[in-house]
């Protein structure tokens, strides 16, 4: 014989439950006249056949056909006097749930503008509040088939981590710089995830990043990058990495045999010497700079007898002045001049005419 639930309630035991299901398994048998008790910061949602139907706020309610129209419309003729009907009731907390935890279950790989790729871990807290209990039950219970707090939190965490990875890629910051941007990162994740939460009847009130840090292997890469920062040369960085690997090999082999360790040490010394020599080379005194080339004397083209002649250096031009072939009105040109000009208009040639004797009387 079916067990009819005459009093329907979920006592808040302070466990941080988001949803309580009555009954815990299967469907309950309810009847017209049953008492529904909804406490403060709770909402009760009747659920049947995968649908969230009628919702009740805080208070004591007597179940009648008038206040469960969703169920009446769904099961119709089963209501006859005190005839039991099957359904489930989900009690949803409507208070703000603070100190919800999020974290990366394993390291995530992100693009890094300095290191290329980086593996990081992170954790923090967030706060949510169910603002539409019927939509929440429909989407979380009906669609996702989740009602345990652990499963719901895992679902929300997957949304948060997805949005965080998207935002880190958009920010274009290195993990080396990320510590200075945790506040911006938290605000950005909250803004990007808000719509996803709202579509499920939940408001994401706050989101905080308490830590985002590199894994051990990424931290080693950061340390190595910082060690080579003064050199700033990728070739030297690769040599440094090779020397580090050789040193570790020498240490490991040294434990197996001193001869092997000695050979590795010699190889290490040669490699380190080469690397340090190359690194120090730029700091050696530079050879004395060679003097600049002797400036070339200006060369002019001259219009003599209607023909272009030259180029002539200053000594040749002096002879043309003395012979009368080059006068103050003779057209001349050299590289850098826009057009031909009279010799008297070119300052470089003034000394030629000053030194020439006047014409014979």
CATH of domain 300-355: 3.30.1490
Burial of residue 124 (CB within 10 Å: 0-12, 13-18, 19+) is buried
Instruction: Determine the pLDDT at residue 278.
Output: 54
Label residue 230 by pLDDT band (50, 70, 90).
very low
Q: Is the pLDDT of residue 163 over 70?
A: yes
One CATH from 3.30.360.10, 3.40.50.620, 3.40.50.880, 3.30.479.30 for 97-214:
3.30.479.30
Least confident interval from 20-29, 105-114, 168-177, 266-275: 266-275
What is the residue-wise DSSP string for 165-215?
HHHHHHHT--TTTGGGGHHHHHHHHHHHHHHHHHTTTEEEEEEEEEEEEE-
User: What is the distance in angstroms between the CA of the first residue and the CA of the last residue of the chain?
Assistant: 151
Q: Is the pLDDT of residue 274 over 80?
A: no
Label residue 269 by pLDDT band (50, 70, 90).
very low
* Euclidean distance between CA atoms 99 and 125, whole angstroms: 5
Mean pLDDT of the chain: 78
Q: What is the pLDDT averaged over residues 140-157?
A: 85
Burial of residue 193 (CB within 10 Å: 0-12, 13-18, 19+) is buried
43-52, 83-92, 249-258 — which one is most confidently predicted on average? 43-52
* pTM of the shown model: 0.57
HSE-CB at 333 with a 13 A cutoff on CA atoms is 10
Instruction: Determine the pLDDT at residue 360.
Output: 62
Instruction: Determine the pLDDT at residue 34.
Output: 82
Q: Is the pLDDT of residue 120 over 80?
A: yes
Q: Is the pLDDT of residue 321 over 80?
A: yes
Instruction: Provide, rounded to the nearest whole percent, the portion of the chain with pLDDT above 90.
Output: 23
Instruction: Determine the pLDDT at residue 50.
Output: 77
Label residue 71 by pLDDT band (50, 70, 90).
low
Q: Is the pLDDT of residue 189 over 60?
A: yes
Per-domain residue ranges of the chain: 7-93, 97-214, 300-355
């Amino acid at each position: 014989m079916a067990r009819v639930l005459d009093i329907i309630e979920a006592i808040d035991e302070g466990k941080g439950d988001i949803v309580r299901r009555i009954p815990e398994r299967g469907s309950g048998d309810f009847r017209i006249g049953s008492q529904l008790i909804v406490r403060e910061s709770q909402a009760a949602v009747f659920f049947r056949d995968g649908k969230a139907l009628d919702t009740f706020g805080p208070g004591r309610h007597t179940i009648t056909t008038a206040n469960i129209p969703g169920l009446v419309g769904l099961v119709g003729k089963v209501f006859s006097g005190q005839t039991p009907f099957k359904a489930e009731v989900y009690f949803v907390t409507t208070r703000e749930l603070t100190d919800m935890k999020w974290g990366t279950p394993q390291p995530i790989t992100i693009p890094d503008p300095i290191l290329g790729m980086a593996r990081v871990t992170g954790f923090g807290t967030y706060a949510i509040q169910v603002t539409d209990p019927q939509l929440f039950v429909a989407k979380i219970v009906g669609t996702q088939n989740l009602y345990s707090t652990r499963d719901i939190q895992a679902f929300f965490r997957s949304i948060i981590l997805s949005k965080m990875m998207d935002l880190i890629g958009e920010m274009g910051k290195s993990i080396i710089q990320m510590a200075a941007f945790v506040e911006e990162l938290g605000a950005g994740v909250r803004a990007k995830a808000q719509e996803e939460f709202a579509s499920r009847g939940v408001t994401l009130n706050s989101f905080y990043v308490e830590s985002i840090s590199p894994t051990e292997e990424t931290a080693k890469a950061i340390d190595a990058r910082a060690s080579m920062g003064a050199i700033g040369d990728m070739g030297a960085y690769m040599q440094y990495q090779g020397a580090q690997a050789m040193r570790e090999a020498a240490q490991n082999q040294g434990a197996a045999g001193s001869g092997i360790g000695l050979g590795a040490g010699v190889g290490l010394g040669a490699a380190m010497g080469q690397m340090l020599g190359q690194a120090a080379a730029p700091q050696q005194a530079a050879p004395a700079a060679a003097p600049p080339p002797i400036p070339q004397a200006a060369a002019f083209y001259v219009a003599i007898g209607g023909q272009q002649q030259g180029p002539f250096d200053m000594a040749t031009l002096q002879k043309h002045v003395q012979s009368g072939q080059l006068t103050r009105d003779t057209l001349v040109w050299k590289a850098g001049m826009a057009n031909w000009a009279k010799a008297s208009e070119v300052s470089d040639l003034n000394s030629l005419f000053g030194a020439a004797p006047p014409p014979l009387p």
